Structure 1
């Protein structure tokens, strides 16, 4: 006599999960290709097959580099998201991305987005909506492309206390500054090369003015310090004022200039503990790990109380690398649906105040020209003393004018760490000195 198998503990196969893709540009086309080509492997990892039910685009007849089944394309994005279990948003910009994500969440779909501009501007409202609906809103690809940085901050370091995050999170600006450093090119020449190679857009404003990095900085800060920081909380400066002479002077001093996104715990002059979030060109020691990040690569350097110093490095842009991050989020969200349970988004446990850059403790490197006459250095050092700012190093180069022209001195002054507000007042007073011809640059210094 045979005993029938007890199948009460055998779990039935999960139904296929419907995936809607919004946008089919460089990243979207690679996401679609991988979903179709690697369907079996993705199903094995998630516990359910992932069925790409449609790709929403603005134009059905637009040329596309990756050949995809034409019957997948649609211009009716709203109907597509209403029928999906998982929605991948790769449209960029605020609208219609925001409305479509809200529609997807309202209909119970988990959302994966690479839209840093939207998340920086509207993230808090979208996170709250996702939490209320019990769905997952994931956005690993919104910061540093293929580099897995958001999940390690959110999950791996959840039991630690992050004190500081420094990141090269924009490949375009890193390529430009690297070109200037390695070839001696001026900014305009390096930008033109970045555009020729496809690293920079025809309108590179968002990159070179720091706006793209600022959006990513707000996301990094929000996860690192469990507080929702908005784009307006980020102090932002770009790289358009960086000259070949600045790069050369940095090299002579053993430094390199990088556009850094920085989020760190600090204390205001009034004693208020908070977090400063900022993006600006920064002088780094060439010994610092971030100084070795070349070309269009990205890297994020994390300092935590228990783990110490960590660095995450990799390709920060490109269709296939960014698609890797998108699909990592997709598999995570799909597994959550298969296994059940609430969606996992951000962990906001407190409300740490955002402090302005005036509360930051930093160092300055000030480049200026002054008339070459007795007493100039005494006047300068007195201004530093008046604002309680200490000079660490001073380099002086005398330029003798031709007949009938007065000689002048070119100075590079590096300060010890001091309050940003005191340093800014020092520079303002130096600018007003009759002997000051020009302040050529003011750069913050980190990591030395």
Structure 2
């Protein structure tokens, strides 16, 4: 039996999907059972990096999701609309969905998966998080017998490229961002990447699969990397750390009904940590579970080949399931959870902190800082006191012991009122 595929989008990823399906030799034996019968594009005149018959290309995207002959809709156009509406129309028409659209899934997954369950169709989204790394299927299937306690990941390649360049070359953020844009690793408007929105989208998806509850995007604490400077990178090196934008999701599995802790922010991590040596545009996800212990997935997080690989894998999984159990939903592949997770407020987080403070270079500064930290139960692990940097100002770097976010922020509020303080350029959490 041949399964007909309607492809929405023929950009970098869409072209990659077509190339795989056009050249099935040496790949999965189910690929010859797939036929792309329609391709939807926004512009019929745009040059394409793939050879495809113009007879199946159209700019009428609705006609594809409404075509009764099509079995599977592959959505790789990106953005919120019309992608969301097209996905929902296709589901209403009984079509299975493969999507790479993290933004739509993170914001409207509840609506999409509820509709899919009612219609008895699959929604597959391996390509929506971490590109070619098969972490979503691992969470759904291979790790299904585990109780997951933590998922930590470098899930945005653009920020990892920028921070890697800053670490190895001592470059400043703005110059490195400009280079990333020139190379095509960062968009002209880099907000989604450098301010952590893209990583938050992906963590909403990954955490919901890892911990069994849906996650509201607005509940994820988020910070970006714009405030990271070459000075912070240098101090991190001196202290035995590197800095990465991490997505972190944790749950205390020893306590019943404990809330989920989920956050995205730049983090200092020890150089011996498995994520410390993930450089460039590579993504990596570390998962800790019972009984498996620690597993780490790493690989290309974006690009035509990586994302198309994940998309085609999802198509194959749908076809395999349909051949095995036609007209029946397979909960291992679908989304079975329906409730939203209780998210712990960021104030409840317990972690270490790094702070870079600029003070007036005068006697008593260290004592003032120590008193302010001590009054709020913040113990210090390390203090680096630097020489005067300019105009009678000195730089002091502190790393705390484990402390609650609430206590640390109260201490910082008190320090901001000290007459000896000039500014606090950077605060980072430490893994």
Q: Deviations over 1:82-109 (max 9, x none)?
A: 2210010011111111111111111111
Partner of 1:390: 379
Q: Distance in 2 between matches of 1:430 and 1:329?
A: 52
Partner of 2:329: 342
Q: Distance in 1 between matches of 2:387 and 2:87?
A: 61
Q: Distance in 1 between matches of 2:419 and 2:257?
A: 38
Matched, 1:241 2:227: yes
Partner of 1:99: 85
Q: Which has the larger radius of gyration?
A: 1
Aligned Cα RMSD in Å?
1.8
Q: Distance in 2 between matches of 1:416 and 1:104?
A: 52
Q: Distance in 2 between matches of 1:45 and 1:137?
A: 19
Deviation for aligned residue 1:352: 3.4
The equivalences for 1:64-83 within 5 A come to 64-83=48-67
Of the structure 1 ranges 174-183 and 351-360, higher mean CA displacement relative to structure 2 is found in: 351-360
Partner of 1:12: none
Deviation for aligned residue 1:266: 5.2
Partner of 1:413: 398
Task: Report if the CA contact (8 A) 2:215-2:341 is conserved.
Answer: no
Partner of 2:43: 59
The equivalences for 1:152-301 within 5 A come to 152-265=138-251, 273-301=258-286
Q: Distance in 1 between matches of 2:27 and 2:153?
A: 33
Deviation for aligned residue 1:62: 0.7
Q: Distance in 1 between matches of 2:329 and 2:346?
A: 38
Of the structure 1 ranges 64-73 and 345-354, higher mean CA displacement relative to structure 2 is found in: 345-354
Matched, 1:373 2:359: no
Task: Report if the CA contact (8 A) 1:160-1:304 is conserved.
Answer: yes
Alpha carbons of structure 1 residues 296 and 135: separation in structure 2 relative to 1, 3 Å: same
Q: How many residues align?
A: 423
Q: Distance in 1 between matches of 2:393 and 2:43?
A: 61
Q: Deviations over 1:25-64 (max 9, x none)?
A: 100011012112217955x236x71110111001111111
Task: Report if the CA contact (8 A) 1:223-1:347 is conserved.
Answer: no
Matched, 1:35 2:21: yes
Task: Report if the CA contact (8 A) 1:297-1:314 is conserved.
Answer: yes
Instruction: Give secondary structure in 2 for the equivalent of 1:303.
Output: strand
Instruction: Give secondary structure in 2 for the equivalent of 1:273.
Output: coil
Instruction: Give secondary structure in 2 for the equivalent of 1:159.
Output: coil
Which residue, out of 311, 318, 322, partners 2:307? 322
Partner of 1:124: 110
Q: Distance in 2 between matches of 1:72 and 1:168?
A: 38
Alpha carbons of structure 1 residues 253 and 40: separation in structure 2 relative to 1, 3 Å: closer
Deviation for aligned residue 1:306: 1.4
Task: Report if the CA contact (8 A) 1:369-1:437 is conserved.
Answer: yes
Which residue, out of 23, 31, 34, partners 1:50? 34
Task: Report if the CA contact (8 A) 1:105-1:129 is conserved.
Answer: yes
Task: Report if the CA contact (8 A) 2:153-2:248 is conserved.
Answer: yes
Deviation for aligned residue 1:128: 0.9
Instruction: Give secondary structure in 2 for the equivalent of 1:289.
Output: coil
Partner of 1:5: none
Deviation for aligned residue 1:67: 2.4
Matched, 1:357 2:346: yes
Q: Deviations over 1:235-293 (max 9, x none)?
A: 111111111111111111111110001111159xxx98201211111001111110100
Partner of 1:10: none
Partner of 2:101: 115
Deviation for aligned residue 1:379: 1.8
Instruction: Give secondary structure in 2 for the equivalent of 1:274.
Output: coil
Which residue, out of 115, 119, 122, partners 1:136? 122
Deviation for aligned residue 1:197: 1.3
> Structure 2 length as normaliser, TM-score?
0.94
Which residue, out of 407, 411, 414, partners 1:426? 411
Task: Report if the CA contact (8 A) 1:39-1:50 is conserved.
Answer: no
Task: Report if the CA contact (8 A) 2:283-2:301 is conserved.
Answer: yes
Instruction: Give secondary structure in 2 for the equivalent of 1:414.
Output: strand
> Structure 1 length as normaliser, TM-score?
0.91
Q: Deviations over 1:196-226 (max 9, x none)?
A: 2111111111111111111001001110110
Deviation for aligned residue 1:375: 2.4
Instruction: Give secondary structure in 1 for the equivalent of 2:48.
Output: coil
